[in-house]
Structure 1
Amino acid sequence: MFDTVLVANRGEIAVRVIRTLRALGVRSVAVFSDADADARHVREADTAVRIGPAPAAESYLSVERLLAAAARTGAQAVHPGYGFLAENAGFARACADAGLVFIGPPAEAIALMGDKIRAKETVRAAGVPVVPGSSGSGLTDAQLADAAREIGVPVLLKPSAGGGGKGMRLVRDAAVLADEIAAARREARASFGDDTLLVERWIDRPRHIEIQVLADGHGQVVHLGERECSLQRRHQKIIEEAPSVLLDEQTRAAMGEAAVQAARSCGYAGAGTVEFIVPGHDPSSYFFMEMNTRLQVEHPVTELVTGVDLVEWQLRVAAGEPLGFGQADVELTGHAVEARVCAEDPARGFLPSGGTVLRLREPQGEGVRTDSGLSEGTEVGSLYDPMLSKVIAYGPDRATALRKLRAALAETVTLGVQTNAGFLRRLLAHPAVVAGELDTGLVEREAEGLVPTDVPDEVYEAAAAVRLEGLRPRAEGWVDPFSVPNGWRLGGTSRPVGFPLRIQDPVEWVPQGTHTVTDDRVAVTLDGVRHTFHRAGDWLGRDGDAWHVRDHDPVAASLTGSGHAGADSLTAPMPGTVTVVKVAVGDEVAAGQSLLVVEAMKMEHVISAPHAGTVAELDVAPGSTVAMDQVLAVVEPHEEAQP
């Protein structure tokens, strides 16, 4: 076993790898950018090395700086985690050239399976069924469009060089193929440095099932069962579970053997995942999609149902040890479900969010595990992936695991940053999810009904109670009656004490019930019902949901803005970076025309013209960093378009 391992990643996966290194008695080395100088993974490692400024290209994606950090600290091996350079064959080769062991598969296997086009051809030759789609690499936009028309819409555009849903586009209308191909190339280039695309047939209402494989350097390959990953939003997995309720033992064995053959076909070693698309009406008709040549985000559910520490076996295989078990020794016991907690705001269309973590509570205990990179004071910015943590629950059966996970998400508190924890809790209670009737489109179809449209009255009551409590005099003894917030006025008249608040729309709220306020909680009784919230600063939280409460000043609000009507101003929907500007001041634009693209946390958002008109102001350029709600441009409507 190694003495020292450098973890070339950040956030929850770095913390998780460090945990296993500590258990094995291996010294851990963390790396960090300026944005992560006080991050949890930095504090938990045995030592840490600064590798550059905040942008990933100058820090976590810098092979030269990572290798230098390994040399400075005497590391013998590098664990890449996932994301960043985890599936970069060049990084694996550079580690070998520097005398370091790359804790992952051989560079040749990464290169082969990292190219989705070559991967499909390779596994097809090994007898693994693949999804029908385009053939050949380096297709032009026109060739991709022709292939899509030949296959017939709907089709899926996919980057050949990456995964995780980045750059994937579902196209249902052939008329928008050109725009969608261009957008997919931009996202692929930004995420993977390679904009090569392929196109595949879209299978309606599919299920996404993947098989975990583990291979040593001595020719042995086993699979550790499947994970169901069908609950996705924008092609990103948000809930994963093991095993899948869809598969019977015969289909599980067949898919497992197909995954093993796929791993053998590329000379694989270490932990990897073979992903399949499966028609829900016919599980026996499964198709290979891709192989992820790394540890998966959802690996904890496999660990919980098999008892196998996948990071430990990554280390042992990389150190040259043979697997200590065979296929017959693998047993799936119980059920595990994982939820990905991300920095995003469901009420704003799941746009990325950011801020400082003011209050943190992460569930642990019997049958519950949280993998997290957070701590109080963590600054969540727009430069890195939005996933903050993972909450995983285990039980003897699926119903128990789901119930435990819903309860754990209700206990999750991340005040200061909007997250999707409350949304995930409601999703896990959806009848189709409870019944196991899943498909990759379910979340998109049902999302609107899982996002509350109104702020509950008790939230305003709690916010007003906090403000009322803050006005009360703290001195003992005689109290100036004019300092008591009871609404008393000269002449014996009084009026209720109200507070102008803003969560969504401005509200003037007068406290109505009784309340108790402490440093970290507020409890209010409204209409005979007691409601308890976590609190920190201007934030309130309950059952995984959070509300940012602002004091509303109508005078100040009327004085802000660009001087143009709100409907004419285009503002940033999230903090991020402007990547594309398609217009200039004076240009005539049509209603709905794409004007700019803002990117945050590896997600693009297109800013479109609200109406036909003329671009009167343009306050940003490609590369501009913008804050949420910052005015980007102003489109003055044509006279005939004005109401």
Structure 2
Amino acid sequence: MFHTVLIANRGEIACRVIATLGRLGIRSVAVYSDADAGSRHVALADEAVRIGPAPAAQSYLSIDAVIAAARATGAQAIHPGYGFLAENAAFAQACADAGIVFIGPSATAIRTMGDKITAKLAVAERHVPTVPGVARPHLTDADLIAAAPGIGYPLLIKPSAGGGGKGMHVVQDEAHLAGAIAAARREAAASFGDDALFLERYLTTPRHIEVQILADAHGNVVHLGERECSLQRRHQKVIEEAPSPLLDEATRAAIGAAACETARSVDYRGAGTVEFIVEATRPDEFFFMEMNTRLQVEHPVTEEITGLDLVEQQLRIAAGLPLAFGQDDVVLRGHSIEARVYAEDPATDFLPTGGRVERVIHPTGDGIRVDTAIADGLDVSIDYDPMLAKIIATGADRDEARRRLVRALGGTAVFGFPTNIEFVRALLELPEVVAGDLDTGLIARRIDDIAFAAADERTFAEAALLRDGGRAPEVGGLTGPWTRHDGWRLGTPAPRRYALVCGERRAEVLVSGSGSSLTVAVDGSDPVPAHVRAEDPLRRTITIDGVTRTIAALISGSDRVAVAYAGAVFEVAEEEVVHGGGSAAASVPHLDSPMPGTVVLVHVADGAHVEEGDPVLVVEAMKMEHVLRAGVAGTVALHTAQGDTVARGQTLAMITPEEAS
């Protein structure tokens, strides 16, 4: 076994690998960019090496920098995690050339499975079923058009390279085929530098089911059951579970055997995942999609139901050891479900967020596991993938696991910026999800029916009560009526008034009384009794008009309080309300950045004229671009330039309307 392993990754997967290395007594080496100097994985590792500036191309994607770090620290092996260089054949070869063990398959296996056409051809030779279609190198537009009638409509155009749904087009009839092929070639060339395409039958209610395999250098290949990954948004997984609620035991054995044959088709070594697509109405019919030649994000659910540490198995295989068990020894116990926590705002079409983590609350309880990279005070960079953590719940059966995960998400909070916690909690409560009636289009169909938590009168009342209880202590230790904060005056005590704003909504809240004799009134409503009890430094149990709930809350400085409920965080900021005469100045339309990011394109010059709807700037963060368009016609005043790093809510341009100018 190795004595030193370098982890060529960051975030929660780096922390996850370090945990297993520590348990096995293996020295861990982390690498980091300038953006991650204070990150959790750096603190957890036995040693950490800076490999470059924040951009991934100059740090985590730099093969030379990673290899140099391994040599400098005496690392015998490199664990790539997932993403970055994990499925890079050139990196696997560079490790071999440097005499360093790559904890993963050979460069040849990565290269074969990284091209969807060659992968389909390879598995077809092992009689693994593939989606009916046409897939071979160098298919021309004419070849694709000629093959379409034999496949039937609707059909799916797919790029041979890349992933993430880019370049994929569903074609319903022959009239739209040629145009869709041309568009797919353009998008594939722009995204992957390769415009090779192939065609597949399009399944109308597809389910995404993948099988975890392990293969050693001694000819042993086993599968560890399947995972259901059908809950996806824009081709990205959101919720994963094991085992799938769709498959029976016979189909589970058949799809597992097909996954093992897929691994044998490329003489695979290590942990890998074979992805299949299954028509929901015909669960016994499955088709090979692709093979991920690495550890998957969702590997914890397999670990929970098998009792195996997949990182440990990767290390054993990479060290040349045989698997210590056979297929008959693999037993699946219970059910496990994972939710991904992202730095994104569901209320703004899931735009990336990020920033400083003021405080994080992780859930606890029976059957709950948290894989995370965040901690209080850490900065979540806009340079990388927005995934922050994974919340995993395991139970005796699927319903117990789901209920535990819903409860766990209700006890999770990230203060500092919006996340998707409330979205995934609400998703798990949809009737279809409760019943296990899933497919990859479910979220898109039901997104408008998922109720997000919103700031209401109750939330504003809670925020005011929390601010009221979090006021500054008595000044200078003085006592007496002039330093009291309970509204004392001769006669009836005055209520404490809080003018609050949360997003687009504002409210005025009056709090009266003290101790256990509080009342609260929102926007002129009748005062109702209230009571606040501290459970711990972050949790308060608040009773308002006889209704009680326990919430997490964070008071930041003197001007803001964040209230978390069921995984949602409401940022309720205090706002000064100015009374008096006079007319308010005319407001000038402005373009604010919807997310922290980088200005990658400026469409207009300072002082230029724009019409309503014209693009003005493009902001990029976490692999997503957002176009800011003029809300009115007028003259632009730019407050930023291309290449600038901007904060969420920062004003990037002002537009003086035509009438005002």
Normalised to the residue count of structure 1, the TM-score between the two structures is 0.87
Residues 610-625 of structure 1 mapped to structure 2, 5 A cutoff:
610=631, 616-617=636-637, 623-625=643-645
Give 3-state SS (helix, strand or coil) of 1:83's partner.
coil
Query: Where does the alignment leave 5 or more consecutive residues of structure 1 unmatched?
Result: 557-561
Distance 1:137 1:396, change over 3 A: same
The equivalent residue for 1:342 is 342
User: Using the alignment, how far apart are the partners of 1:480 and 1:291 within structure 2?
Assistant: 73
Of the structure 1 ranges 459-468 and 626-635, higher mean CA displacement relative to structure 2 is found in 626-635
- Which residue number in structure 2 is paired with residue 514 of structure 1? 531
- Structure 1 letter corresponding to 2:539: R
Q: Which amino acid aligns with 2:19?
A: R
Give the AA of the match of 1:53: P
Shift of 1:48: 1.1
Q: Residue 31 of structure 1: CA displacement?
A: 0.9
What is the CA–CA distance in structure 2 between the aligned matches of 1:385 and 1:371, rounded to whole Å?
15
Q: How much does 1:439 deviate?
A: 0.8
Q: Does 1:540 align with 2:539?
A: no
Matches within 5 A, 1:253-272: 253-272=253-272
2:597 aligns to what?
576
Q: 1:605 aligns with which of 617, 620, 626?
A: 626
Deviation string, structure 1 residues 289-331 (Cα, Å, up to 9, x no partner): 1110000001111111112211111111111112222222222
* Alignment check: 8 A CA contact 1:171 1:177 kept: no
Q: Hey, what's the Cα distance between the residues in 2 that align with 1:201 and 1:229?
A: 20
CA contact 2:185–2:196 (8 Å) conserved in 1 = no
Cα shift at 1:528:
1.3
Distance 2:587 2:186 in 1: 32
1:529 to 2:528 alignment: no
Counterpart position of 1:559: none
Contact 1:167 1:185 (8 Å CA) reproduced: no
Q: Structure 2 vs 1, CA of residues 57 and 600 (structure 1 numbering), >3 Å: closer, same or farther?
A: same
Q: How far apart, in 2, do the equivalents of 1:145 and 1:497 lie?
A: 72
TM-aligned CA deviation for residue 252 of structure 1: 1.4
Mapped to 1, the partners of 2:142 and 2:639 lie a distance apart of: 37
User: Which residue identity does 2:619 align to in structure 1?
Assistant: V
Q: Larger Rg: 1 or 2?
A: 2
Q: 1:528 to 1:45 in 2, by over 3 A?
A: same
1:454: Cα distance to partner? Answer: 3.0
Q: Distance in 2 between matches of 1:360 and 1:73?
A: 33
Q: Please give the alpha-carbon distance, in whole angstroms, between the structure 1 residues aligned to 2:180 and 2:510.
A: 51
Q: Name the amino acid aligned to 1:314.
A: Q
In 2, the alpha carbon distance for the partners of 1:579 and 1:144 equals 38
Q: 1:469 and 1:326, CA in 2 relative to 1: closer, same or farther beyond 3 A?
A: closer
Per-residue CA shift, 1:485-538, capped at 9, x if unaligned? 455779x68764322212122222223033346753344321211233222223
Distance 1:603 1:198 in 2: 26
Displacement after TM superposition at 1:125 (Å):
3.1
Aligned to 2:573: 550
- 1:44-63 equivalent positions in 2, closer than 5 A: 44-63=44-63
- Does the CA contact (< 8 Å) of 1:6 and 1:75 recur in 2? yes
**Cα drift, residue 114 of structure 1:** 0.9
Q: Does residue 167 of the first structure (1) align with residue 188 of the second (2)?
A: no
Shift of 1:228: 0.3
CA separation of 1:453 and 1:363: change in aligned 2, threshold 3 A? closer
Q: Match for 1:533: what amino acid? A: I
C-alpha contact (below 8 Å) 1:53/1:59 kept by paired residues: yes
Opposite residue 19 of structure 1, the aligned amino acid is: A
Question: CA separation in 2, counterparts of 1:181 and 1:587?
Answer: 35
* Change in 2 beyond 3 A, CA 1:25/1:201: same
Tell me the distance in 1 between the aligned counterparts of 2:295 and 2:473.
Answer: 56
Alpha-carbon offset, residue 75 of structure 1 = 0.4
1:167 Cα shift? 3.3
Q: In structure 1, the residue corresponding to 2:108 is in which secondary structure?
A: helix
Distance (whole Å) between structure 2 residues aligned to residue 334 and residue 430 of structure 1: 22
Q: Deviation of residue 450 (structure 1)? A: 2.4
Q: Would you say the 8 A contact 1:18–1:45 is kept in 2?
A: yes
Task: Give, as a single letter, the amino acid of the residue that structure 2 aligns with 1:545.
Answer: A
CA contact (8 A) 2:474 2:484 kept: no
Structure 1 residues 205-216: aligned runs within 5 Å: 205-216=205-216
The TM-score normalised by the length of structure 2 is: 0.85
Post-superposition Cα deviations, 1:524-582, rounded to whole Å, max 9, x if no partner, equal 321211233222223222221111122224679xxxxx98743xx44322112244555
Q: What SS is found at the alignment partner of 2:496?
A: coil
Does structure 1 residue 116 correspond to structure 2 residue 123?
no
Partner of 2:527: none
Taking the TM superposition and a 5 Å limit, the aligned residue runs for 1:138-153 are none
- Quick one: structure 1 residues 592 and 259, their matched pair in 2 at CA, closer, same or farther if it must change by over 3 Å? farther
Taking only the aligned residue pairs, the percentage that are identical comes to 54
C-alpha RMSD over aligned residues: 3.4
1:519 and 1:194 map into 2 onto residues whose CA distance is: 55
Q: How many residues align?
A: 625
Per-residue deviation, 1:394: 1.3
Instruction: For 1:143 and 1:54, locate their aligned partners in 2 and report how far apart those are by CA, in whole Å.
Output: 44
Q: Which residue of 2 aligns with 1:499?
A: 498
SS at match of 2:75: coil
Change (3 A) 1:636 1:514: same
The alpha carbon displacement at 1:288 in A equals 1.4
Q: Closer, same or farther in 2 for the Cα pair 1:146/1:592, shift >3 Å?
A: farther
Q: Measured at CA, do residues 153 and 132 of structure 1 come closer, stay the same or move farther in structure 2, by a change above 3 Å?
A: same
The residue aligned with 2:5 is 5
8 A contact 1:33–1:52 mirrored in 2: yes
Within a 5 Å distance, the mapping from 1:279-290 to structure 2 comes to: 279-290=279-290
Please state how far the C-alpha of 1:261 moved relative to its aligned partner: 1.6
Deviations 1:198-245 (A, max 9, x none): 665542221100011111112221111110001111111111111111
Change (3 A) 1:340 1:35: same
The change in CA–CA distance for 1:52 and 1:368 in structure 2 (over 3 A counts) is same
**1:428 corresponds to which residue?**
428
Matched with 1:460 is: 460
Distance in 2, matches of 1:147 and 1:574, equals 45
Matched residue, 1:627: 647
1:418 aligned to 2:431? no
Cα deviation for residue 332 of structure 1 reads 1.4
Matches within 5 A, 1:197-236: 200-236=200-236
> 1:471/1:321 Cα in 2 relative to 1: closer, same or farther (>3 Å)?
closer
Query: 2:481 matched to 1:481?
Result: yes
CA distance in 2, matches of 1:137, 1:614: 52
Task: Give the drift of 1:377.
Answer: 1.3
- Matched residues in 1 for 2:134 and 2:422: separation? 40
